[in-house]
């Protein structure tokens, strides 16, 4: 696994983006790029070339799994590790996201103090 320097956080909720950015940049020490929708995620992922993408499952318009498929179809993000974030962490849900090819699933709400640690554990 390459070193993580830049993380793209995709979530339609302002609070999650704000807390996530603080956690990823202050605690994790990573440059953090934010997107509030699947469409914005595709655009920013192509421009920014993140080392990791944190992707919300439930979003209006293009949901997480659909966005995941589109990211995989773009050459720039075809192999970028993606972690889903969801409030629904039942076993069958998690299994479905891992089958899609996600490196892991993080439950929401997440603990901002331990989020970077959890990410490192999932991608290592």
How many domains does the chain divide into? Answer: 1
pLDDT digits (tens, 9 = 90+) for 22-73: 999 999 999 999 999 999 999 999 999 999 999 999 999 999 999 999 999 9
* 24 within a domain of the structure (yes/no): yes
Domain that holds residue 10: 6-123
Structural element, H or E, at residue 122:
helix 115-123
pLDDT for res 88? 81
pLDDT for res 2? 62
Structural element, H or E, at residue 56:
strand 52-56
pLDDT interval class at 124 (50, 70, 90): confident
> Distance (Å, rounded) from C-alpha 6 to C-alpha 60?
25
Tell me: pLDDT of 10 over 90: yes
> Distance (Å, rounded) from C-alpha 61 to C-alpha 101?
22
pTM of the model: 0.95
pLDDT interval class at 90 (50, 70, 90): confident
Tell me: pLDDT of 95 over 70: yes
* 1 within a domain of the structure (yes/no): no
pLDDT interval class at 89 (50, 70, 90): confident
> Phi/psi zone of residue 29: left (φ > 0), alpha (ψ -120 to 50 degrees), beta?
left
Kindly report the CATH number assigned to the domain that includes residue 20.
3.40.50.2300
Q: What is the mean pLDDT of residues 108-117?
A: 95
* 75 within a domain of the structure (yes/no): yes
Tell me: pLDDT of 93 over 80: yes
């Amino acid at each position: 696994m390459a070193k993580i320097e830049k993380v793209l956080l995709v979530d339609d909720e302002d609070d999650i983006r704000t807390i996530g950015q603080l956690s990823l940049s202050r605690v994790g020490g990573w440059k953090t790029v934010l997107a509030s929708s699947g469409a914005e995620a595709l655009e920013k992922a192509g421009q920014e070339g993140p080392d990791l993408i944190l992707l919300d499952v439930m979003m209006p318009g293009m949901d997480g799994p659909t966005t995941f498929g589109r990211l995989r179809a773009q050459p720039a993000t075809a192999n970028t590790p993606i972690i889903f974030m969801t409030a629904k962490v039942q076993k069958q849900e998690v299994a479905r996201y891992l089958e899609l090819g996600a490196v892991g699933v993080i439950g929401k709400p997440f603990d901002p103090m331990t989020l970077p640690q959890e990410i490192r554990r999932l991608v290592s």
